[in-house]
Amino acid sequence: MWMLRSFVNRSVVTLAGITAPGAALAHPAQGGFVLLLPTDIYIAAGCAAVGLSVLIVALMPAGALARLFAPRALGHAPDLATARALTSLLSLALLAALLWVGFIGPRDPLSNLLPLTIWTLWWIALFTLQGVLGDLWAWINPWRGLHGLVWGDAPPPLRLPKALGCAPAIIGFVAITGFALADPAPDDPARLAAFVMGYAMFTFAGMALFGAHAWLGRAECFTLLLRLFASLAPLQTRPNLAIGLPGWAAIPDRTAEKVPLSLGVFVIVLLASGSFDGLHKTFFWLAQIGVNPLEFPGRSAVVWSTTLGLLGANVALALAFAGCIALGHLALRGPAPRLRDAIAQLALSLLPIAFAYHVAHFLTAFLVGVQYSVAAITDPLASGADLLNLGQFYVTTGFFNTQGSVRAIWLTQAGLIVAGHILGVLMAHRMATQIYGGHRRAAIAQSPLAVFMVLYTLLGLWLLAAPRGA
């Protein structure tokens, strides 16, 4: 079984959901101010920074990168499995309460705690914290505790075929992203509650049949995704406490088993889906599908174009990425490693980009959604209650309404994306030296990927700057 350093399958399970509806909460003025910003200059600067990082990495003395990514051991971490099982049970109880609110609580998705929790507190906030602080999901997954309570360590009745790799998680992630992007009402409380409950039961059934380890590790896309994001955190607790440059734990150990191609594809799918989420509301995309962005007819009118676009984006990015690696192999003289192994491993260098794009893309939605979440926590049934004693609480989008604050938000987003790409460049080169055996060979094999990184920076920043209409 392959294993990244940070991945010890002790944790987790999942919820459902995806792309926050909050993206639609942005404000017309925000887009207007972004168009007034000198984004061309910012974008050029961002791409130049990533390009420069490529050069620096190529010119660094051999071994410097290895030292950069070498973690510093901090000793043994206590075994907290029992505590995690308890918090998992509490989380399950919370999920049940949220589902109840989803089914019978307020119908307004911005007053109902279920969609707010799923889309804002979980999909945006937790995913972000996961990449910064490490595997919090291991503590709050709602199923692991119950599974342990019911089945303990008993062997599962069925085996998830090894040949499948992470394919179930890929299919699951694309399907759920499709729900989030293309479904007409993914934030409707009752609809979402049914979806979450169905996915929760499906996951639990999968764990019962195939075992928690196999199902959570290869079939349950959110656990896989969250563990991958957690591997970017500087501080890791398992197997031992250690700290290092962000991403150090995501670089496969030379002694570990090969990264399966399906895991690499999963990471590519994460990035492609996130990028398509950014793309599908731009004037550019809407023009491609013949929709006037100023009179967007509603999501129900673009279900198929969105679905096909999502699938197309995934295929396109997978082919582009594989093409870059293949080109690098062509440039190499002498023996090259197996292409599929190189693709699988180097795809992990896209992780910080996918993570950074996730955080940047949803930053604006979070700024609004978190306010609605507070309002819903103080009045969970929209009955006029004020549990937090906030008094009259008005949600504001005023920070989208001044040039200074819009610039600050935009530059924060852009900075995250550039930083993600630079980390990606460093990780890719570090892995390439392992794969291709040597600094110089790595630099040659990496050159198409380096161009890819710069161009993808351009895409990510362009998506931030592009006018939106849906």
Partner 1 sequence: MTQKLIPPSGFTRRGALKTLGLGAGALAATTAMPGFIQAQSSAPIRIGFQVHRTGIGASYGRWYDRTSQAAVKRINDAGGINGRMVELVPEDDGTDAKRGAEVIEKFATQSNCDVAFGTLFSHVVIGSAPRAGELKLPYFVVSEGHHVASGMLNRYTLQPGITDVKSQVQAMAPFVAANLGKKVCMIFPDFAFGHDHRDYFSAAFEAQGGTINAMIAIPPTETAFTKYFPQIPRDTEVIYHVMVGPAVLTFVKELGEFFGPSRPELFGFIDSLEAVDIASPGLEFLEGSYMWEGNPRYAQADQTEYDKAFRAAVGVDDNGASVSDSRDISTYAHMFGCWETLNIIKAGMEASGYQGQGDRAALIEAVEAMSAMPLGMDHPQGAKIFNGKTHQTFGHQYITRVESGKLLLAHTTSIEDTLYEDEVDYTTRSF
Which DSSP letter does residue 117 get? I
Which residue, 217 or 469, has its beta carbon nearer to partner 1? 469
Interaction between residue 72 and partner 1 (CB under 8 A): no
- Amino acid identity of residue 340, one-letter, is R
Q: Residues 78, 298, 334, 335: which binds partner 1 (CB under 8 A)?
A: 298
Task: Tell me the sheet residues that pair with 293.
Answer: none
Cα distances from 109 to residues 27, 100, 300, 376, in angstroms, run: 18, 14, 17, 10
Distance CA 21, CA 69 (A): 37
Task: Tell me the sheet residues that pair with 73.
Answer: 242
Distance CA 453, CA 149 (A): 46
Classify residue 261 as exposed, middle or buried by CB count within 10 Å of its CB (0-12, 13-18, 19+): buried
Interaction between residue 111 and partner 1 (CB under 8 A): yes
Interaction between residue 399 and partner 1 (CB under 8 A): yes
Note the Cα 127 to chain centre separation in Å: 7
Interaction between residue 36 and partner 1 (CB under 8 A): yes
CB atoms within 10 A of CB 390: 12
**In the complex, what is the shortest distance from the CB of residue 110 to partner 1, in angstroms, rounded to a whole number?**
5
Which residue, 403 or 412, has its beta carbon nearer to partner 1? 403
Question: Positive or negative, the Cα torsion across 148, 153, 157, 163?
Answer: positive
SS3 72: strand
- Amino acid identity of residue 193, one-letter, is A
Which residue, 29 or 167, has its beta carbon nearer to partner 1? 29
Q: Residues 307, 378, 405, 447: which binds partner 1 (CB under 8 A)?
A: 405
Q: Residues 41, 154, 163, 294: which binds partner 1 (CB under 8 A)?
A: 294
Distance CA 144, CA 238 (A): 17
Q: Which two tokens stand for residue 436?
A: 């291709």
Q: Residues 46, 264, 274, 469: which binds partner 1 (CB under 8 A)?
A: 469
Interaction between residue 104 and partner 1 (CB under 8 A): no
Interaction between residue 462 and partner 1 (CB under 8 A): no
Interaction between residue 299 and partner 1 (CB under 8 A): yes
**In the complex, what is the shortest distance from the CB of residue 301 to partner 1, in angstroms, rounded to a whole number?**
7
Candidate ranges 21-29, 56-64, 310-318, 322-330; the one touching partner 1 (CB under 8 A): 21-29
Interaction between residue 33 and partner 1 (CB under 8 A): yes
Q: Residues 103, 151, 202, 283: which binds partner 1 (CB under 8 A)?
A: 283
**In the complex, what is the shortest distance from the CB of residue 385 to partner 1, in angstroms, rounded to a whole number?**
14
DSSP-assigned states of every residue in 201-249: HHHHHHHHHH-HHHIIIII-HHHHHHHHHHTTSSEE-SSEEEE-STTGG
Q: Total binding residues for partner 1 by CB under 8 A? A: 50
* H helix or E strand, kind and range, residue 181: helix 167-182
Interaction between residue 288 and partner 1 (CB under 8 A): no
Confirm if 427 and 259 have CB atoms less than 8 A apart: no
Q: Which of residues 434-453 bind partner 1 (CB under 8 A)?
A: none
Q: Residues 18, 170, 233, 286: which binds partner 1 (CB under 8 A)?
A: 286
Q: Give a three-class secondary structure readout of 79-145.
A: CCHHHHHHHHHHHHHHHHHHHHHHHHCCCCCCCCHHHHHHHHHHHHHHHHHHHHHCCCHHHHCCCHH
Interaction between residue 365 and partner 1 (CB under 8 A): no
**In the complex, what is the shortest distance from the CB of residue 396 to partner 1, in angstroms, rounded to a whole number?**
4
Strands (E) located in 214-369: 235-236, 240-243
Interaction between residue 467 and partner 1 (CB under 8 A): yes
**In the complex, what is the shortest distance from the CB of residue 361 to partner 1, in angstroms, rounded to a whole number?**
16
Interaction between residue 290 and partner 1 (CB under 8 A): no
**In the complex, what is the shortest distance from the CB of residue 34 to partner 1, in angstroms, rounded to a whole number?**
8
Q: Which of residues 167-196 bind partner 1 (CB under 8 A)?
A: 184-185, 187-188
Binding site for partner 1 (CB under 8 A): 21, 24-25, 27-29, 31-36, 106-111, 184-185, 187-188, 283, 286-287, 292-301, 392, 394-399, 401-403, 405, 467-470
